[in-house]
A and B are shown apart, each in its own frame.
Chain A
Amino acid sequence: QVQLQESGPGLVKPSQTLSLTCTVSGGSISSTTYYWSWVRQPAGRGLEWIGRIYTTGSTNYNPSLKGRVTISLDTSKNQFALQLSSVTAADTAVYYCAREDGIGISFGLDVWGQGSSVTVAS
């Protein structure tokens, strides 16, 4: 059974870069049938889709993040990563990694990590 686990600093200073890693266990990140995604949730608020990456390295990002986001793959470690640059307090949130099942047709975000809380503060 596939499991996802986020890791990274819980505190990031304003204007710096937030970096999180999602480790995939029980399955291969090189699979051709999944996207690997990031979703965030500010405290007490709703869900925001950040972006996703495919095994080829192809990415889709949310334009609302104004080019500050980069998602990458590390197939040797079976991990994918999120980088969000020039962070502000508005980027404080719980960040989830998730697997999207289906290419060309979406069967949903069917596996989620437990979430990583990130606070942006000096």
Chain B
Amino acid sequence: DIVMTQSPVSLPVTPGEPASISCRSSQSLLYSNGHNYLDWYRQKPGQSPQLLIYLGSNRASGVPGRFSASGSGTDFTLKISRVEAEDVGIYYCMQALETPYTFGQGTKLEI
């Protein structure tokens, strides 16, 4: 299985400040079609996970522009340009290159 590793585990942030989460995979997620099969999800307290980013850098429908993602191969980053209070939750990366899909252990963003 592809192992996904996120850092940091916990991320204290101040509203209005930027935040960044790192995700590394044990093997390249770059497919022959040029896409990186890496998603980002956010799980707010008491809620189901929500898709933020797919194929490495594409914002899902309805996701605010302050969220961006980058990276290729085995190293990926999710960035929030200016954190808002509603952004609290646990952020997960997930590889969708091959089954079984695997998630990172999560990064808890705290205000």
How far does the alpha carbon of A100 sit from the alpha carbon of B39 in the complex, in Å? 11
> In the assembled complex, which residues on chain A have CB atoms less than 8 Å from the CB atom of B49?
39, 47, 96, 109, 112
> In the assembled complex, which residues on chain B have CB atoms less than 8 Å from the CB atom of A109?
39, 41, 49, 51, 94
> In the assembled complex, which residues on chain B have CB atoms less than 8 Å from the CB atom of A74?
none
Residue of B nearest to A112 (CB): B48
Task: Give A residues with C-beta under 8 Å from B.
Answer: 39, 46-49, 51-52, 60-64, 96, 100-101, 105-110, 112-115
Residue of B nearest to A110 (CB): B51
Centre residue among B33, B55, B96, B106 by max chain A CB count within 10 A: B96
Asked whether any CB of chain A lies closer than 8 Å to the CB of B35, the reply is: yes
Centre residue among A48, A101, A105, A109 by max chain B CB count within 10 A: A109
Q: Which 10 A-B pairs have the closest CB atoms?
A: A108-B54, A106-B96, A62-B100, A112-B48, A49-B101, A60-B99, A108-B51, A47-B103, A108-B39, A107-B54
Give the number of chain B interface residues (Cβ < 8 Å).
Answer: 28
Task: Give B residues with C-beta under 8 Å from A.
Answer: 1, 33, 35, 37, 39, 41, 43, 48-51, 53-55, 58, 60-61, 92, 94, 96, 99-106
How far does the alpha carbon of A64 sit from the alpha carbon of B102 in the complex, in Å? 11
> In the assembled complex, which residues on chain B have CB atoms less than 8 Å from the CB atom of A107?
54-55, 58
A46-B106, A49-B101, A49-B103 known; A106-B50 Cβ under 8 A: no
Centre residue among B33, B54, B58 by max chain A CB count within 10 A: B54
> In the assembled complex, which residues on chain A have CB atoms less than 8 Å from the CB atom of B94?
47, 49, 109
Asked if residues B105 and A46 are in contact (CB atoms below 8 Å), the reply is: yes
Residue of A nearest to B40 (CB): A108
Residue of B nearest to A6 (CB): B48
> In the assembled complex, which residues on chain B have CB atoms less than 8 Å from the CB atom of A46?
92, 103-106
